[in-house]
Amino acid sequence: MTLLDTSGLCPKLYLCLHCCLLTSPNFKLFMHKVIINDCYGGFGYSPLALSEIYKRKHPEVKEFFFYKEGDYNWDTSKFKYLKCTPDKADYVLIKDKGAEFIGPFDEDDVVFNEWERHDPDCIAVVEQLGSEKASDSCGKLEIVEIPDNKYIVHEYDGWEWLETPSTPKDWIEIP
Asked if residue 171 and residue 129 are part of one domain, the reply reads yes
| Residue range 113-160, pLDDT digits in tens | 889 999 999 999 999 999 999 999 999 999 999 988 999 999 999 999
According to the model, what pLDDT value does residue 44 have? 95
Asked if residue 7 and residue 38 are part of one domain, the reply reads no
Asked if residue 103 and residue 133 are part of one domain, the reply reads no
Q: How many domains does the chain have?
A: 3
Which candidate, 69, 132, 131, 65, places its Cα nearest to that of 94? 65
User: Is residue 51, in this structure, part of any structural domain at all?
Assistant: no
Asked if residue 39 and residue 21 are part of one domain, the reply reads no
User: Is residue 175, in this structure, part of any structural domain at all?
Assistant: yes
Boundaries of domain holding 40: 31-46+115-175
User: Is residue 57, in this structure, part of any structural domain at all?
Assistant: no
Asked if residue 69 and residue 149 are part of one domain, the reply reads no
Which of 90, 109, 128 terminates a domain? The answer is: 109
According to the model, what pLDDT value does residue 19 have? 47
Q: How far is the C-alpha of 85 from the C-alpha of 118, rounded, in Å?
A: 28
User: Is residue 146, in this structure, part of any structural domain at all?
Assistant: yes
Asked if residue 26 and residue 11 are part of one domain, the reply reads yes
pTM metric for this prediction: 0.76
Asked if residue 121 and residue 39 are part of one domain, the reply reads yes
Asked if residue 103 and residue 119 are part of one domain, the reply reads no
Which candidate, 108, 84, 90, 109, places its Cα nearest to that of 46? 90
Per-residue pLDDT of the chain (175 residues; tens, 9 = 90+): 334 444 554 444 433 454 445 444 444 557 899 999 999 999 999 999 999 999 999 999 989 999 999 999 898 889 999 999 999 999 999 999 999 999 888 888 899 888 999 999 999 999 999 999 999 999 999 999 998 899 999 999 999 999 988 888 877 777 8
Number of Cβ within a 10 Å radius of residue 138: 13
Length of the chain in terms of residues written: 175
Helix, strand or coil, per DSSP, at residue 52: helix
Asked if residue 160 and residue 119 are part of one domain, the reply reads yes
List, in order, residues 6 or more apart from 57 with CB less than 8 Å away.
115, 121
CB 42 within 8 A of CB 140: no
Helix, strand or coil, per DSSP, at residue 81: strand
Helices (H), 39-141: 47-57, 120-134
According to the model, what pLDDT value does residue 70 have? 92
Asked if residue 144 and residue 99 are part of one domain, the reply reads no
Asked if residue 142 and residue 101 are part of one domain, the reply reads no
Is 130 buried (19+), middle (13-18) or exposed (0-12) by CB count in 10 A? Answer: exposed
Asked if residue 119 and residue 170 are part of one domain, the reply reads yes
